Amino acid sequence: MEKKVEQFDVVIIGGGAAGLTAAIYCGRARLKTLLIEKSLIGGLATYTNEIENYPGFPDGTTGLELMDLFHKQAKKFGVKFKLTDVKGVTLEKDKKVVETFRVNYEAKVVIVASGGKPRLTGAKNEEDYLYDKGISFCATCDAAANTDKTVMVIGSGDAAIEEGIFLTKFAKKSYCICNARSRKDGL
Ligand SMILES: Cc1cc2nc3c(=O)[nH]c(=O)nc-3n(C[C@H](O)[C@H](O)[C@H](O)COP(=O)(O)OP(=O)(O)OC[C@H]3O[C@@H](n4cnc5c(N)ncnc54)[C@H](O)[C@@H]3O)c2cc1C
């Protein structure tokens, strides 16, 4: 079956904070803009109930609330949203193509804002404790929630040590765990 083709000035892949910010700028610049998100508009930030470092929110806010505001602001500027998975892109030619199950979107510009995925250690039952259930991936985000607790940073690169040092300002005790296998295993 021949796929439907639709045309835009800009297609943004990913509806997290980065994609929505790009959408607000593109929409406000009066570019015909499409944002494609495969799961939840708002991305990773929607996993947190407490965002305290965003300017303009002296009492803090939740990830869902903040991302809902980003979404509303982008919609206000006429950005179109499509909930589907991007299956492929062709970026070499002037006319870029973003491929989804039913439609191929052609655009002058494609912005990839598909985010990052935290790398897990593979420890037993780890999946049950992710994000705000005990295992965090961002000290800047979650250090305050660990005030006066004992925390453990797993990893051995610069980032792990930086996170560990940051945590010392909040946690009662901060351990940094590394072993000789870390580098080989990519931890
Ligand atoms: C528990 C938790 C607490 C946090 N707390 C804070 C905080 O307090 N303060 C702070 O500043 N930051 C915080 N963060 C970090 C913040 O959430 C991230 O920095 C932010 O989400 C990154 O935004 P992003 O748009 O780059 O990526 P993401 O939010 O990961 O968004 C990328 C989006 O792209 C979509 N996508 C990927 N591939 C495709 C595809 N093929 N087709 C269509 N869509 C696709 C994904 O579904 C996703 O929605 C926290 C994160 C977590 C998990």
- The tokens describing 165, both together, are 């040092």
Residue identifier of the C-alpha nearest atom 33 of ligand 1? 14
Quick: pLDDT tens for 150-166: 999 998 788 888 899 99
pLDDT value for 179: 60
Atom of ligand 1 nearest to the CA of 40: 49
- Model's pTM, two decimal places? 0.86
The pocket around ligand 1, CB under 6 angstroms, is made up of: 13-19, 36-39, 43-45, 47-48, 51, 53, 85-86, 113-115, 131-132, 138, 141
Atom of ligand 1 nearest to the CA of 118: 53
Per-residue CA distances from 126 to 90, 97, 133, 142, 184 (Å): 37, 38, 10, 18, 21
CA of 2 to the centre of ligand 1 (A): 34
Mapping DSSP onto H, E and C, the string for 51-117 reads ECCCCCCCCCECHHHHHHHHHHHHHHCCCEEEECCCCEEECCCCCEEEECCCEEEEEEEEEECCCCC
Any idea what DSSP says for residue 140? H
Which of the pair, 132 or 102, is modelled with greater confidence?
A: 102
CA of 53 to the centre of ligand 1 (A): 15
With a cut of 50, say whether residue 129 has pLDDT above it.
yes
Mean pLDDT calculated for residue range 85-99: 97
